[in-house]
Amino acid sequence: MKNFILFLLSVCLLVSCGTNKKKAENETLAPVEQKLVALSFDDGPNTSTTVQMLNMLEKHGVKGSFYVIGRNINDSSAVVMKRAFDMGCDIQNHSFSHANMKELSAEEIKDEIQKTTDLIVKYVGVQPTFFRPPFISYNQLMYDNIDLTFISGMGVEDWMPSVTAEERAKRMMDMAADGLIYLLHDMPGNEATVQALDVVIPELKKQGYRFVTVPELFKAKNITPQRNKIYSNILTD
């Protein structure tokens, strides 16, 4: 009888250990909700700052989203744009001439979008799915005639030479939040933003952030882009 009781206790102990081990394994494998942000860049492509920006992204092993102006795309700058795409970055539409599109007719709006889309397809081979309005100026006529998701983003006034790299980095750190889209610029001469990213990217990584493209951000957060809406933080907009 005593031996039988000891046998039962041994069986219970083995079952309990196995259950606890399985539970521990499941807890280890359980997905952790990660903080995500997207870097996005306006006004390229070019063979100067865009190249420096891509070098910085490569240095830190991250990707970004590039909103290109059609008139800036030529055989030389297209090589840089294709490099961005091959790195895993996405190429999106930022109009052809960077006009204030609220002042344009429906046909002019369509022309601004189509000419840039055609150039992206020509050199990269993919259709853009997102659009950032120049000057973040938009109206219902634009919503009605542009069949792309509208993106704004949170900026740090990095188009102003008076804003130093240190100040840009501080502003980016202060506004960091899960789901945020940063609105930055890779226009010629904007090396201060390149320098700021050399500080911001590793620091945000330490804080648990992961850098993704804008399309990846929507997919990772399981959010379907809506029409007649513009996004800066996809979790709060």
Q: Supply the DSSP symbol for 222.
A: T
Give 27's contacts (C-beta < 8 A, 6+ positions apart).
none
Q: Give the Å distances, CA to CA, from 106 to 70, 97, 140, 143.
A: 18, 15, 11, 10
Q: Give the Å distances, CA to CA, from 206 to 87, 100, 128, 199.
A: 23, 39, 32, 11
Tokens of 45: 């492509």
Give the CA angle between residues 138, 190, 51 to the nearest 5°. Answer: 100
Catalytic residue from among 43, 158, 185, 186? 185
Q: Supply the DSSP symbol for 233.
A: B
C-beta of residue 68 within 8 angstroms of C-beta of residue 211: no
Place of tokens 């989203």: 65
The 3-state DSSP class for residue 67 equals strand
Q: Give the Å distances, CA to CA, from 25 to 11, 16, 18, 29, 33.
A: 21, 14, 11, 6, 18
Catalytic residue from among 42, 43, 90, 178? 42
Residues listed for the chain: 237
185 flagged as catalytic: yes
Active site residues: 42, 185
